[in-house]
Structure 1
Amino acid sequence: MPEGDTVWLAAQRMHTALAGATLTRGEFRLPQLAALDLTGATVTEVLPRGKHLLIRLADGRTLRTHFRMDGSWHIYRPGTTWRGGPSHDVRVVLATDGWECVGYRLHDVEIVATADEGRLVGHLGPDVLGPDWDLDEAVRRLRQNPDEQIGVAILDQRNLAGIGNLYKVETLFLCGVHPWARVGDVEDLETVVDRARTLMLANRNHPEQSTTGSTRRGQDHWVAGRKGRPCRRCGTPILLGEQGPATQERVTWWCPTCQAARSPIDPRARTGEPGRPQPVTLYRR
């Protein structure tokens, strides 16, 4: 699942392959950029910003890409068969004498002046995996909207950048917080945010995303993908629901016992099968 740690790892690998090298191929397979050719440009650095990947060029331009749910960059030696998917899924090809970086199903592909990067990423909150991470600022931004659902608020990249749905549900489970609790009712936001960062730091150097400490299939997550299966802590069946504004809903897993609401939860809570609202106990005294 492409989240901030996935983008961080991709940026490190692409920086190693491209930084300081001149592109022998800079091809775009997108209608809006089909006429653009980056051949001859020199890459100065590749770095992540939340879920955005920035490729800076020596001529003062930056290529920004976003993975969203299904995008990825793959790196190959010249002459190696590309195995990231069918050729019609390729969006960008950046090659040097030593490497070929192939972008599959990339989104928000755009070239801007490096000085104008703020137009693309300036709205983002503190980067969870960034060198300038600021816990206090992230918490301050979250508290600006105390009536928002915590599960929605920590996915809002304007509050803090990099957290995706997987780390949302796993963090809230580990902290015992109901996903539909109001931000203002979460007693220790600092702990919630810091736990999410700890999980991401633990996973950023490898493609596997484990929150339990095990990388074995089926044992790597506490609640994500485990609807109806017993909670690893208490045995209660894990619930699944939809959360988020209309057209932007994200599936949410949680344990109704370990994450029992201790204050009235947001009445917009929807539980059960996605798309099928069902009654929910508001809180447990």
Structure 2
Amino acid sequence: MPEGDVVFLAAARLRAALDGATLTRSDFRVPRYATVDLRGQVVESVGSYGKHLFVRTETVSVHTHLKMEGTWRVFRCGQRWTKPRVAARIVLGTADAEAVGFDLGLVEVLRRGEEHRAVDNLGPDLLGPGWDPAEAVARLNRDPARPIGLALLDQRNLAGIGNIYRSEICYLRRVHPALPVGEVDDLYALVHEAHRVLHRAAHQPPWRPLAYGRAPRPCRRCGTSLRVEMLGETVPGYDRVSRRERGIYYCPKCQVPPV
């Protein structure tokens, strides 16, 4: 699943292509919004919040989430698309460019005054101007018994971390991903590490993983073979065997498991 840095960079590409331009093409290939027509409207801004992306005109905010497979790509007018046309969910065009959202997991057209509804439940944005580490720590501490590897994925705590970066952050701080939040020695340092990692990935890409995807290769600190294990929790509202589980990578020597 694309993480906060990918969405941040996608917003930057769309901003370069659309910001300040008048839309000459507006094609929503989602039944609920098939009649939406933004032609003639000026794109006032493009931005991101965590894993959410917004293209704003004077009247609406086009809210998208990439989920697992989604991507935004920008083409010159007339240029052949690099993904199948059937995968396109939104096409926004100007006199010079076409921005195409392929395989988007979520498409929503909101009135400008309603955009907050998409992010009100989220924690502080790791890549946003309003990043607040104290608020992130306070949100993590609301559930001190929860494993830190799960708490970092919860966008209600801090927005932008996915499966890759939770492994990287825990590895860099030498914190085992199953360690309860309340037992992390320096939660502020871990939150600052999260900000540093995401900021580095977004502003000096690409990020080259130190732990994620490297099992069973040796740890770059101690040489111990890295491991990958499933870390999940029961999904509220489902039966007792339903679980969200995703692989997390760690060093069994540098990141001592909880007792």
1:43 corresponds to:
43
Q: What letter matches 1:236 in structure 2?
A: T
Alignment partners' CA distance in 1, 2:232 and 2:18: 38
* Structure 1 residue corresponding to 2:85, chosen from 84, 87, 91: 87
Deviation by residue 1:66-104 (Cα, 9 ceiling, x = unmatched): 012221100111111111x22211111000001110111
Whole-angstrom distance in 2 between the partners of 1:45 and 1:186: 39
The gaps in structure 2 that reach 5 residues or longer are 234-241
Are 2:149 and 2:178, in contact at CA under 8 Å, matched by a contact in 1?
A: yes
Q: Which amino acid aligns with 1:234?
A: C
Check whether the contact 2:68–2:105 (CA below 8 A) recurs between aligned residues: no
Cα deviation, 1:242-275, whole Å, max 9, x if unaligned, reads: 11224422211111111012xxx4xxxxxxxxxx
Offset at 1:139? 0.4
Residues paired across the two proteins, number: 251
Shift of 1:226: 1.4
1:138-187 superposed Cα distances (whole Å, 9 cap, x missing partner): 00110111011100101111111111111100110010000000000001
Other-structure match for 1:280: none
Q: Secondary structure at the match of 1:250?
A: strand
8 A Cα contact 1:9 1:206, kept in partner = no
Is the contact made by 1:50 and 1:127 (CA closer than 8 Å) also made in structure 2? yes
Q: Which of the residues 245, 252, 265 maps onto 2:248? A: 252
Please name the residue that 1:241 is paired with.
229
In the TM superposition, residue 16 of structure 1 has moved relative to its aligned partner by: 1.8
> Partners in 1 of 2:91 and 2:226 — Cα distance?
42
- 2:217 match: 229
Say which SS state the counterpart of residue 117 (structure 1) adopts.
Answer: helix
Moved more, 183-192 or 85-94: 85-94
Task: Judge conservation of contact 1:6–1:207 (CA < 8 Å) in 2.
Answer: no
Could you say which structure has the greater relative contact order, defined with CA pairs below 8 angstroms and 6 or more residues apart? Answer: 2
Detail structure 1 runs of 4+ shifted over 6 Å in the superposition. none
Instruction: Kindly indicate whether residue 165 of structure 2 is the aligned counterpart of residue 177 of structure 1.
Output: no
Which string of whole-angstrom CA distances, capped at 9 and with x for unpartnered residues, describes residues 77-133 of structure 1? 1111111x2221111100000111011111110011111112111111111010011
Q: Could you tell me how far apart the structure 2 residues matched to 1:129 and 1:253 are?
A: 24
Percent identical among aligned pairs is: 45
Structure 1: runs of 5+ lacking an equivalent: 211-219, 266-282
Change (3 A) 1:32 1:206: farther
Contact 1:238 1:255 in 2 (8 A): yes
Query: 1:34: Cα distance to partner?
Result: 2.2
Question: Superposition pairs for residues 55-94 of structure 1, below 5 Å?
Answer: 55-59=55-59, 61-83=60-82, 85-94=83-92
Retained in 2: the 8 A contact 1:128–1:197?
A: yes
Tell me the residue number matched to 2:195: 197
Paired amino acid for 1:221: P
Provide the rounded CA distance (Å) in 1 between the counterparts of 2:75 and 2:202: 21
Question: Which stretch shows the higher mean deviation, 235-244 or 50-59?
Answer: 235-244
